Amino acid sequence: MRVVLTNLSNKLYEQSRFRLNYSALKHGIKEINSLDFEDLKAFAFYEENKKILQAAKGIGYWLWKPFIILQAMKKISEGDIVIYADCGIEIIDSLDPLISICRKNNPVLLFANENLKNKFWTKRDCFVIMHCDEKKYWDGLQSDASFSLFRKSPQAESFLNEWLNYCRDERVISGNPNVCGKKNFFGFKEHRWDQSVLSLLAIKHDIELFRVPTQYGNHYKLPELRIPGEFNCVNQVYQKQVNFYSSRPYRNSHYYQLLSHHRTKAGADTVEKKLSIAQLILKSGKRRWGKIRRYLTRT
């Protein structure tokens, strides 16, 4: 069985992409399909979707993500596995536990963004156009689009093509204002582009979600997997650490933290550490002074 990692970045995140690829080789993944954004221009896909792909956010709202996964899948045989990882990720342990889950039971292996409901992170047009404008989708959890595994099979290829086709629709993938006549839900924060599409499809196709294998999933570990002093926060939007674990651990996720999600251009760790009271006061003071200075110097 072959296992292939695929990813893409522009020059801005190139060093992080190289760091991700090195970490993959270090932990046993020998085949890597790593692309520069300029490589997309060799495909008809680029010209067909040029308007979206010129958007600065996610170099095209991450529309290219299901496309490069499908391209990697074309090069492998039935039963082989494609792993996708954002370039803001570093592999810190063997991915064998996840590969085993994907190989045996789950041709589409996705991970939960716990505590993040779709209705707060998905604009209304996305629900409407995808025929998902009902409660089970509104209240469903966001799937984490930064990392996923796919076993080559009719089910996985169909899922990826559906993801790609919806992402090609600017009304669905972009953060542009709604045009279908319905307002966003009260408490809506931001549309999550390709991730919003992925999240609704996961619910539509009854895809089982697993604990995200980054530091942001540690809070939902089973008791026997917890490590004293490890990073522990309820979700990755608000990175304040807590001194307790969830009462609803992911019982299907028997693995430790396998990835570091640093999200930086050079790969530096940005996880927020616990601060003392003095440090918190200093941090708050700096933030307030920054606001005052911006107000005084505004034009």
pLDDT at 278: 53
pLDDT at 263: 81
Q: What is the rounded distance in angstroms from the CA atom of residue 20 to the CA atom of residue 87?
A: 6
Q: What is the rounded distance in angstroms from the CA atom of residue 242 to the CA atom of residue 262?
A: 19
Nearest to residue 97, comparing CAs of 206, 215, 225?
225
Q: What is the rounded distance in angstroms from the CA atom of residue 272 to the CA atom of residue 290?
A: 20
Q: State the alpha helices, DSSP H only, in 34-139.
A: 44-48, 50-53, 58-61, 64-74, 96-104, 118-121, 124-129, 135-138
pLDDT in tens, 197-246: 999 999 999 999 999 999 999 999 999 999 999 999 999 888 899 999 99
Q: What is the rounded distance in angstroms from the CA atom of residue 136 to the CA atom of residue 196?
A: 14
Tell me the CA distances in angstroms from 127 to 58, 135, 145, 256, one per residue in order.
21, 10, 17, 34
Instruction: Enumerate residues 6+ apart whose C-beta is below 8 A from 48.
Output: 168
Q: What is the rounded distance in angstroms from the CA atom of residue 98 to the CA atom of residue 150?
A: 11
Which residue has tokens 């942001």? 216
Task: Indicate the domain borders of the chain.
Answer: 3-274
Question: What φ, ψ does residue 256 adopt, rounded to 5°?
Answer: -85, -170
pLDDT in tens, 74-97: 999 999 999 999 999 999 999 999
Instruction: Going from the first residue of the chain to its last (299 residues), give the mean pLDDT of each consecutive group of 10, the final group possibly shorter.
Output: 98 97 98 98 98 98 99 98 98 99 97 94 99 99 98 99 99 98 98 99 98 98 98 92 97 98 70 48 56 48
Per CATH, the number for 3-274 is 3.90.550
SS3 84: strand
Q: What is the rounded distance in angstroms from the CA atom of residue 8 to the CA atom of residue 59?
A: 10
pLDDT at 115: 86
Pull the structure tokens for residue 75.
């090069």
Pull the structure tokens for residue 111.
């991970």
Question: What φ, ψ does residue 117 adopt, rounded to 5°?
Answer: -80, 145
Nearest to residue 98, comparing CAs of 90, 106, 89?
106
Instruction: Enumerate residues 6+ apart whose C-beta is below 8 A from 219.
Output: 114, 232, 233, 234, 242, 245, 246
Q: What is the rounded distance in angstroms from the CA atom of residue 238 to the CA atom of residue 216?
A: 10
pLDDT at 266: 66
